[in-house]
Amino acid sequence: MNIEDKLLLIRFNSDQSAHIKLNKDLCVDCEERGCLYVCPVNAYQIEGNEMTFDWSACLECGACRIVCSRGALNWEYPRGGFGVCFRYG
């Protein structure tokens, strides 16, 4: 089974509010933009010159939190029963 097939097996129960909040002001002049390269589901995108973030398919892997040296991410895990569900290993 390839990675794309495995990703299709993951289930989400998205909470009403984002568990990662992005301070976009800190992204404007960020040169590294490592978040664009490490996120396995491409949750970060550049639209025009603005960084956008879609938290609904987040795998909660934490890679973006580690790679962002500017502290632009405010992270709180979803409430119990919400977020990603790796039911199929």
Q: What residue ranges bind ligand SF4 (CB under 6 A)? A: 26-27, 30, 32-35, 38-41, 43, 51, 58-64, 68, 70, 72-73
| Least distance CB 20 / ligand SF4 (angstroms) | 6
- Tokens of residue 4, six digits: 């794309």
What is the Cα–Cα distance from 11 to 21, expressed in whole angstroms? 21
| Least distance CB 17 / ligand SF4 (angstroms) | 15
In 5-41, which positions are buried (b, 16+ CB within 10 angstroms) versus exposed (e)?
eeeeeeeeeebeebbbebeeeebeebeeeebbeebee
Q: Which is nearer to ligand SF4, 12 or 41 (CB)?
A: 41
Q: Which is nearer to ligand SF4, 70 or 88 (CB)?
A: 70
